[in-house]
Amino acid sequence: MMITPLPVNRDLILGSLSKGVRSDGRRLDEYRPIKFEFNVISKANGSASVRIGDTYVLVGVKAEIGKPFPDTPDEGVLIVNSEFVPLASPQFEAGPPDENSIELARVIDRGLRHGGAVDFKDLCIIPNEKVWILWVDIYVLDHGGDLFDATALASIAALMVTKIPVVVVEGSQIVVREEKRPLKIVDYPVSVTINKIGNYLLLDPTLEELELVEARLTMFTNSKGEICAVQKGLPGAFTYDEVMKSVELAKSKGRELRSILLESFNNWDKNVRGALNGV
Amino acid sequence: MSGKKRLIDENGLRVDGRRWNELRPLKIEVGILSNVDGSARIIQGKTHILVGVYGPRESFAKHVSLPDRSVVRCRYRMAPFSVEERKSPAPSRREIELSKVIREALEPAILVEEFPRTIIDIFIEVLEADGGTRCASITAASVALADAGIPMKDLVAACAVGKADGKLIVDLSDMEDKYGEADVPVAIMPNKNIITLLQMDGTLTSDEFNALLQLAMKGCKRIHEVQRKALKDGFGEIKNLVLEE
């Protein structure tokens, strides 16, 4: 779907990378400012938006009751979808999700799943029959470079504030109460995407830098510092040393991103509780 | 993910009797189809895949071609009868993602700048799937590209590694892929020693990840020998190959 390449000053970008600074003054391993907003959509069971510099993404979670997969009869279901809507970039075309959007959704799905974000057993209502299905819908609203990391943060953030109705099983009947409860969040997987331009590895590329990125490596880590999903993308290659350097970057930067996520969540949570208590 | 199924027995043998560092029997045949420019068949364990390559050829739709290079397209599809439960022939999201990562694993090796305004089409048909289909597809597609006479910097060889019952293993079967703790498909350009496919599904420490990546690269190099033999003689195989520790 990437049709017309942006005009990019290659020499200028490479020149500044060689000095260890980017054209906007950042270090190679520095993200632009990250801002969270929680529960921005009241009709969703949970939602969050994330901005990383110019990148702006929104994730909404909808919960519904449905059938479990036959191989996991006592676990809930997580389904991740993503939409690259045309207003986010002139390079995005209207239509069904293309391979870029499908890849993103599947990688986020794996990160959340193997990162152990949600307790799936907690989503079981009647084994083999009824479980909660969580639809995680990713909306890319403004493409500013690093879509994987922004949407990964927005997805876990949205799950952290998701509330589902309390259900009671009476015989074979399910009674859905008005009262709502949060999901059981077990871990906070985050993604760090390493972008390769020439011999340089950089994080959070701008759109201009992105035009020069030859290969990217998205790595999810959990709070134990374990790697829980990896995806190499774009038609370039990495050396073994670059991959191992990326692992270290993913661990250290992942910790930073996770603490920004938790701090933003705690601040928001305090304010919400404060408002409820009339403070 | 790791269920009750035991994947490695008390003797350290896997479900199909292999050791942790043992590849499945592998056969590669070259030039098996008559109408394509290049083709290959790969049989790795029970996994059985055909790859056909057309090109570089002129594109019928002008808008897909580029003025400065050839455009590589790749379609990975599983036959409805290739898996336990019939797979619908409509393209799944998995197939769309795999088509993309396979293309991006092969493209670094192709000298695309030599053929501006053309298309290189890679068609991958999985006839029987028993784990490791994306890696086998890459291994075979690279051979088919060479068979089509498309100039390349290197072949691309692929090998999956992973973790099952707490042990690191090479060349995962379907069961190990489904019920193991982690699955790491890797492709490399063996002469340049660079990595063109890297994915991971599961949970690993960075030490395990490092060890697995090295194991995968070793596996790729042995598979590369079979690719070269196949290109030279039309056929290459290994019966049971244990990687050095």
* Of the candidate ranges A165-174, A193-202, B130-139, the one whose mean pLDDT is the lowest: A165-174
pLDDT digits (tens, 9 = 90+) for A141-172: 999 999 999 999 999 999 999 999 999 998 88
Identify the closest residue of chain B to A75 by CA–CA distance.
Answer: B1
Q: Which residues of B6-32 are buried (b: 16+ CB within 10 A; e: fewer)?
A: ebbeeeeebbeebebbbbbebbbbbbb
Select the residue from A2, A114, A121 to test the B interface by mutation, using most B Cβ atoms within 10 A. A114
Q: What percent of chain B has pLDDT over 70?
A: 98
pLDDT at B125: 93
Q: Residue B60's pLDDT is what?
A: 75
pLDDT confidence of residue A158: 97
Structure tokens that stand for A54 in this block:
């110019």
Residue A268 pLDDT more than 70? yes
| Predicted local distance difference test score (pLDDT) of residue A11 | 87
Point out the residue among B99, B108, B217 whose CB comes nearest to the CB of A237.
B108
Residue A96 has a pLDDT of: 87
* Amino acid A124: pLDDT: 96
Would the pLDDT of B3 be above 50?
no
Under an 8 A CB cutoff, do A231 and B199 touch?
yes
Kindly report, residue by residue over A27-50, the tens digit of the pLDDT.
999 999 999 999 999 889 999 999
pLDDT over 50 (residue B1): no
Please, are residues A134 and A256 in contact by the beta-carbon 8 Å criterion?
Answer: no
CATH topology of domain B25-234: Ribosomal Protein S5; domain 2 (3.30.230)
Instruction: Tell me the chain B residues in contact with residue A233 when contact means C-beta distances shorter than 8 Å.
Output: 100-101, 104
Q: Which residues of chain B lie closer than 8 angstroms to A231, CB-CB? A: 101, 198-200
What is the set of domains in chain A, with CATH numbers? 11-276 (3.30.230.70)
Helices in B21-131 by DSSP H: which ranges? 93-106
Confidence of residue B4 (pLDDT cuts 50, 70, 90): low
For B192, half-sphere exposure in the C-beta direction (CA atoms, 13 angstrom radius) is 18
Q: Parse chain B into domains and list their residue ranges.
A: 25-234
- Grade residue A4 by pLDDT with cuts at 50, 70 and 90: low
Query: Would you state the pLDDT for residue A187?
Result: 97
User: B43 pLDDT exceeds 80?
Assistant: yes
Task: Check residue A2 and give its pLDDT.
Answer: 47
Q: Do the beta carbons of residue A92 and residue A167 sit within 8 Å?
A: no
pLDDT of A67 reads: 96
Confidence of residue A94 (pLDDT cuts 50, 70, 90): confident
Q: Which helix (H) or strand (E) holds B176?
A: helix B174-179
How close is the nearest chain A Cα to the Cα of B182, in Å?
Answer: 9
A251 vs B: CB within 8 A: yes
- Provide the percentage of residues in chain A whose pLDDT is more than 70: 97
With an 8 Å Cβ cutoff, is B220 touching chain A?
no
B163 contacts chain A (CB < 8 A):
no
> Which amino acid is it at A156?
I
- The token duo for B92 is 């799944």
> Confidence band (pLDDT; 50, 70, 90) for A10?
confident
Structure tokens at A101: 């959007």
Angle of helix A99-114 relative to helix A147-160, nearest 10 degrees, comes to 50
Is the pLDDT at A278 greater than 80? The verdict is no
Mean pLDDT of B26-39: 94
The whole-number average pLDDT for the span A67-82 is: 95
Mean per-residue pLDDT, A265-273: 90
Q: Cβ(A36)–Cβ(A149) under 8 Å?
A: no
Mean pLDDT for B37-54 is 95
What residues contact A173, with CB distance under 8 A and at least 6 apart? none
Q: Exposed e or buried b for every residue in A93-116, given b needs 16+ CB within 10 A?
A: eeeebebbbbbbbbbbbbbbbbbb
Whether B214 sits inside 8 A of A240 (CB atoms) is yes
Question: Which two tokens mark A9?
Answer: 């000053």
Q: Does A141 touch chain B (CB under 8 A)?
A: no
What percent of chain A has a predicted confidence (pLDDT) above 90? 81
pLDDT confidence bin for A6, thresholds 50/70/90 = low
φ, ψ of residue A263 to 5 degrees: the values are: -65, -45
Q: Check pLDDT > 50 for residue A64.
A: yes
Confidence at A201, pLDDT banded by 50, 70, 90: very high
B116 touches chain A (CB under 8 A): no
pLDDT at residue number A90 = 85
Euclidean distance between the first and final Cα of chain A, in Å?
A: 50
